[in-house]
């Protein structure tokens, strides 16, 4: 009598995908276990919010929509339907900064220079500015020379742009239990690429706002003016601080388009004409990330960066779960090492 054998079964496509996802999760867990300083929840939320704001804001640039169309759709709160929403250098540099924190729990400037440079070389088409295209390839060869090299930009003045501010909200959330430390570490992170005092001041202001937002989780949000006054208290004197002073004096009912006209919305790509408006918008919507991003987008200008700053600060308090689910599915994913939302 012939021996009966059980026929072999081939896993279905769905089963194969489930097994691949389980293996990816095991790999993510192994990678997270190798990190000496796991990403705190508030810092992860700030990173997620920064990336969401960056990708959301990017959709309103001229290459996707004419300015008139963008303004009308923002006013009507018509969500961009295209997918995916790619993030830009704002998020790429934030990831490089956070990666250093997960290994060192502090900003070690030579290591940060190398992290920025490696991230740039891996994908230089993320919308980096002129200064970073000059600086980061040099730092890839000599990361120890970051101080002298960052000072050579812009005729020896160093960069006063918004690049150090755009990436720093997760750092503020990381050090939310010690505002002075958040301020100091933000300055260290800025100096690697932005030697001008205004570039540093922009990073300090954003990190302070994110630290205050994260520290206030579970309690009533301060008023917009109260938050801005707290940020003012730790921001160095200069154009950024003066812009924050004017932002704190604006009535909360000011239309965002008017606030952008008065404060600037990044059209000059400077910290001083970017940070005050982005933080004014964040401060007025600390408990509603979606509202904060719509308000910030209405100012147009350097809209991916203003939205990245606003998104990082507000999400440090709220997380990203309150935004429409389609926003999160459309946004380009972050690397696996960041972990689940």
159-186 mean pLDDT: 98
CATH number at residue 159: 1.10.4080.10
Predicted model pTM: 0.90
94-99 mean pLDDT: 98
Tell me the pLDDT tens digit for each residue of 263-284.
999 999 999 999 999 999 999 9
Lowest mean pLDDT among 8-12, 62-66, 112-116, 124-128: 8-12
pLDDT at 6 > cutoff 60? no
The answer to whether 180 is a known ligand-binding residue is no
63-69 mean pLDDT: 96
Count of domains in the chain? 1
pLDDT at 19 > cutoff 90? no
Q: What pLDDT does residue 267 have?
A: 96
Lowest mean pLDDT among 12-21, 72-81, 149-158, 181-190: 12-21
Above pLDDT 70, what percent of the chain? Answer: 93
- Residue 305 neighbours by CB under 8 Å, 6+ apart: 54, 57, 90, 162, 165, 166, 266, 274, 278
State both tokens at 297: 């987008």
Above pLDDT 90, what percent of the chain? Answer: 87
Q: What pLDDT does residue 339 have?
A: 83
Contact call for residues 170 and 312 (beta carbons, < 8 A): yes
161 secondary structure, DSSP code: B
Q: Per-residue confidence at 33, pLDDT binned at 50, 70, 90?
A: low
15 domain-assigned:
no
Tell me the pLDDT tens digit for each residue of 280-325.
999 999 999 999 999 999 999 999 999 999 999 999 999 999 999 9
CA separation for the pair 168, 187 (Å, rounded): 10
The answer to whether 302 is a known ligand-binding residue is yes
Contact call for residues 107 and 188 (beta carbons, < 8 A): yes
Vertex 74: Cα angle to 68 and 76 (nearest 5): 105
Q: What pLDDT does residue 5 have?
A: 53
Q: What is the mean pLDDT of the chain?
A: 94
pLDDT at 29 > cutoff 50? yes
164 domain-assigned:
yes
120 domain-assigned:
yes
The answer to whether 329 is a known ligand-binding residue is no
Q: What pLDDT does residue 27 have?
A: 59
161 domain-assigned:
yes
The answer to whether 89 is a known ligand-binding residue is yes
143 secondary structure, DSSP code: G
- Residue 139 neighbours by CB under 8 Å, 6+ apart: 113, 114, 116, 117, 145, 146, 149
Q: Per-residue confidence at 13, pLDDT binned at 50, 70, 90?
A: confident
Contact call for residues 277 and 170 (beta carbons, < 8 A): no
220 domain-assigned:
yes
Q: What pLDDT does residue 10 have?
A: 64
Q: What pLDDT does residue 1 have?
A: 46
pLDDT at 106 > cutoff 70? yes
264 domain-assigned:
yes
Domain assignment of residue 213, given as a range: 42-338
Tell me the pLDDT tens digit for each residue of 213-234.
999 999 999 999 999 999 999 9
CA separation for the pair 91, 73 (Å, rounded): 24
Lowest mean pLDDT among 5-9, 34-38, 149-153, 234-238: 5-9
The answer to whether 90 is a known ligand-binding residue is yes
Three-state SS for 66-127 is CHHHHHHHHHCCCCCCCCCECCCHHHHHHHHHHHHHHHHCCCCHHHHHHHHHHHHHHCCCCC
34 domain-assigned:
no
Lowest mean pLDDT among 7-16, 39-48, 76-85, 186-195: 7-16
320 domain-assigned:
yes
């Amino acid at each position: 009598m012939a021996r009966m054998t059980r026929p072999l079964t081939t896993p279905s496509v769905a089963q194969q995908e489930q097994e691949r996802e389980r293996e990816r999760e095991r790999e993510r867990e192994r990678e997270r276990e190798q990190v000496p300083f796991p990403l705190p929840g508030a810092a992860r939320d700030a990173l997620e919010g920064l990336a969401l704001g960056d990708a959301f804001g990017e959709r309103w640039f001229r290459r996707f929509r004419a300015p008139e169309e963008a303004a009308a759709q923002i006013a009507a709160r018509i969500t961009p339907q295209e997918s995916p929403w790619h993030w830009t250098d704002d998020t790429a540099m934030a990831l490089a900064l956070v990666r250093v924190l997960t290994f060192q729990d502090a900003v070690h400037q030579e290591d940060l220079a190398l992290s920025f440079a490696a991230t740039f070389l891996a994908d230089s088409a993320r919308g980096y500015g002129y200064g970073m295209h000059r600086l980061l390839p040099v730092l890839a060869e000599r990361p120890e020379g970051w101080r002298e090299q960052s000072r050579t930009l812009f005729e020896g003045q160093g960069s006063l742009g918004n690049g150090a501010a755009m990436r720093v909200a997760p750092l503020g959330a990381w050090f939310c239990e010690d505002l002075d430390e958040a301020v100091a570490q933000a300055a260290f992170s800025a100096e690697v690429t932005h030697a001008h005092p205004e570039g540093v001041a922009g990073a300090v202001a954003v990190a302070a706002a994110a630290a205050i937002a994260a520290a206030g989780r579970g309690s009533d949000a301060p008023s917009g003016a109260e938050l801005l006054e707290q940020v003012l208290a730790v921001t160095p004197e200069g154009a950024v601080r003066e812009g924050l002073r004017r932002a704190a004096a604006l009535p909360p009912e000011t239309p965002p388009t008017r606030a952008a006209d008065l404060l600037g919305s990044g059209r000059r790509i400077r910290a001083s004409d970017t940070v005050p408006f982005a933080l004014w918008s964040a401060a007025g919507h600390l408990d509603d990330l979606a509202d904060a991003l719509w308000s910030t987008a209405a100012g147009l200008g350097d809209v991916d960066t203003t939205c990245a700053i606003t998104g990082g600060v507000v999400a440090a308090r709220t997380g990203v779960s309150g935004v429409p689910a389609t926003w999160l599915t459309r946004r380009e994913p972050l690397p696996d090492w960041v972990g689940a939302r």
